[in-house]
Each structure stands twice: as structure tokens, then as C-alpha cells.
Amino acid sequence: MRRCVLFACLFVGSQSCTLSSFADSLPEDHKRNLLIEQKNFVESLAFVYSPALWISYRHGLYFALKNDAQTRQLEALKGTRAKYVALTDRAERHDLAASLLAESGIDELWQQKLLLPLSVTNQNLTPTLNKPLVILGGYKLVHSFENGDALIEGTDGICLVMNFSAGTNDPSASEAWLIKEGEKAYASAPGEYQRVDAFTSVALNSQETEVLERVVAACRRRSAVLSKEIAGVGAAQEFQNSVRRANDSNPFLQYQVAKAYLEGKGTKRDENLGLEWMNRAAKNGSGDAKAYLEKLEQKTPKP
């Protein structure tokens, strides 16, 4: 069974990501929104650069959705991106994508194949091919030629697939990804030729698959870093709120401020300030603070 699908591309303009020095200069709420949206965008790129969503054709790599599930997931990602309030600049998003490709360690030629230049007229991030992708399902390998071409049989009959052996095609696979090139004759017997539909296989080879996997791995590493930064910003906000509200009638928040100083959570670790706040909380009735100080006293060696 053959299915033709059109190529689709995730329009992700651009944003230069971690940029800690820039983020540090922002108000806390905006900083947190920016980091959350950067993380979402990076995770979107991990989806987009999955090898399952790419094809290889005439020395180029192209983003191509192959089924309805991929299309739905891409639309969901676009919907989330449309709600961004901080990461809205296309140039910044493009810089972020470029930085991830560079961090993956792939060379510049591969980076150019996977990321289009920033353009006012073309808002796509990834290259796409203006040819219909034919998905041949339930095929079987009939014959392999020495030049790498092959005859395969699907529900519509036998066709010739050029460059079949160059990709990661598996003779037992359920689908073949093809671009139709017209018709071509092959020798069906000595002196006899038969014309059949001719296609080019667009399956990725092992090197192309590895390149894309390295990009996905770089995206996942950046996502983990951003998760930690988001947690840090949240802790900082919580700390500042606690400090503002930690008056003498609120020993619980005084205890929370003390813990934050002692653990370096949301603020720089400062044992002296931590103990100062702990004593203040204990004096104002915090049972947790009293228990902490009693336990600390028991651990302190007697002179």
C-alpha cells in the first residue's frame, strides 16, 4: 500500500539560549518564563531532530513527517510555542538552535544541512523537500542489484528502488520511504527488459542517523541544565518571598529563611546568617528551629 505525504517543517525562528548573564539581569518572573520556554523549545528541537522525522535525498537531509501521530505532535508543539511570552524573537530562537547543533559536535557542513539560515521570507528552521514522499507499506525485497538498486514488491506490484542499499532499509521492514523518479527498465531475463515505476530510497544511512542522534542528545543535555536553572530561579523567588514575610510573628518563615541560608537554597550559602535566623526563629517559638539548635549543640564538642 502506498501513501503520499507532504513534507512539513517546524517553524522555529530563533533564540539564543542559556545566556545566564542575560537572564540574571531580568526580573524574576520574566527570567523564569524565559527559562521555561527555552526548555520547551529545546525539547521541541529534540523531537524535530529525531532521525525518524528525516529523509536523505541527493546528499541533502530533509525534515519530513511520515505519519499522523508525528503530525499531531508537531501541531501540539506549535500550539505551545504560540503561547510564549518571553521567547518570542525568531532570531533568538534561531541562535538557540544553532548553539545546540554546535554543542552536539557535528561539523559545520552537517550543521548547514540541518539548519536553514535565518530569513525574513522563509520562516522555516529545517530544510524540506518539495517532492511528495511515497511510503510503501508491507513490501518485500525481490532482488538486489550490484549497483545498490533493488526490486521490491508491494501491494501495487513490483517497482525499482534506486540507492536502496545505501540507507538503513531492512528487507523485513514494514515501510519503505521513497521519492518517485518516473520509470526505468531492468533486465528481467537475458535479452529481456521490463519497465516499472522507479523510485529513489530516502532512508537515512548509519552516518546520517548518528549525526541526528548527536543533536538530539545535545538537546536533552541542555534541557537538563535548564531544568536546574528553573529550579534555582524558583528557589530564589521563594527565598525572597520568605525574607519579606519573615517578621517576628511568623517564626515558621524565619525557620525557612534560616534553612535556605544554611543549605544555599535560593541564595548564597551563609552559615552565620543561617544560625542568626535560626536563633531568631527559635526565640519566636519555632519548634523546628529549637530542635535544630538542640541537635547542633549536642554535636558541638565541649571544651
pLDDT digits (tens, 9 = 90+) for 132-169: 999 888 888 898 888 889 999 988 889 999 988 766 54
Please name the residue ranges forming H helices in the chain. Answer: 20-24, 28-48, 68-81, 90-103, 108-114, 206-245, 251-263, 271-283, 287-299
pLDDT of residue 250 exceeding 90, the answer is: no
- At residue 298, the 3 state secondary structure works out as helix
pLDDT of residue 266 exceeding 70, the answer is: yes
Q: Do residues 80 and 221 both lie within one domain? A: yes
Q: Do residues 167 and 290 both lie within one domain? A: no
Q: Do residues 166 and 278 both lie within one domain? A: no
Q: 50 lies in a domain?
A: yes
What CATH number is given to the structural domain containing 158? 2.40.50
- Let me know the angle formed at the C-alpha of 17 by 74 and 227, rounded to the nearest 5 degrees: 75
Average pLDDT over residues 35-56: 96
Q: Which segment of 51-60, 161-170, 214-223 scores lowest on mean pLDDT?
A: 161-170
Number of domains in the chain: 3
Q: Do residues 18 and 120 both lie within one domain? A: yes
Q: Do residues 181 and 49 both lie within one domain? A: no
Residues of the chain with pLDDT > 70, as a percent, come to 83
Q: 240 lies in a domain?
A: no
Q: 74 lies in a domain?
A: yes
**pLDDT recorded at residue 258:** 83
Average pLDDT over residues 172-194: 84
Q: Do residues 119 and 82 both lie within one domain? A: yes
Alpha-carbon distances, residue 211 vs 22, 112, 208, 228 (angstroms) = 31, 12, 5, 27
- 5 pLDDT band (50/70/90 cuts)? low
Q: Do residues 97 and 153 both lie within one domain? A: no
- 171 pLDDT band (50/70/90 cuts)? very low
Q: Do residues 84 and 218 both lie within one domain? A: yes
**pLDDT recorded at residue 292:** 85
Mean pLDDT of the chain: 84
Q: 111 lies in a domain?
A: yes
**pLDDT recorded at residue 172:** 46
**pLDDT recorded at residue 99:** 97
Q: Structural domain of residue 116, as residue ranges?
A: 2-129+206-230
Q: Do residues 157 and 214 both lie within one domain? A: no
Q: 92 lies in a domain?
A: yes
**pLDDT recorded at residue 173:** 55
Q: Do residues 12 and 36 both lie within one domain? A: yes
**Which has the higher per-residue pLDDT, 241 or 38?**
38
Q: How far apart are CA 303 and CA 23, in angstroms?
A: 49
> Which residues contact residue 133 at a Cβ distance below 8 angstroms, ignoring those fewer than 6 apart?
4, 5, 6, 7, 55, 64, 66, 177, 178, 179, 202
Q: 63 lies in a domain?
A: yes
Q: 236 lies in a domain?
A: no
pLDDT of residue 193 exceeding 70, the answer is: yes
- How does pLDDT run across 106-124, given as a tens digit for each residue? 999 999 999 999 998 888 9
Q: 183 lies in a domain?
A: yes
pLDDT of residue 174 exceeding 60, the answer is: yes
**Which has the higher per-residue pLDDT, 266 or 223?**
223
- How does pLDDT run across 270-300, given as a tens digit for each residue? 888 888 888 888 888 888 888 888 888 887 7
Residues facing 157 on adjacent strands: 154
Q: Do residues 85 and 216 both lie within one domain? A: yes
Q: Do residues 92 and 159 both lie within one domain? A: no
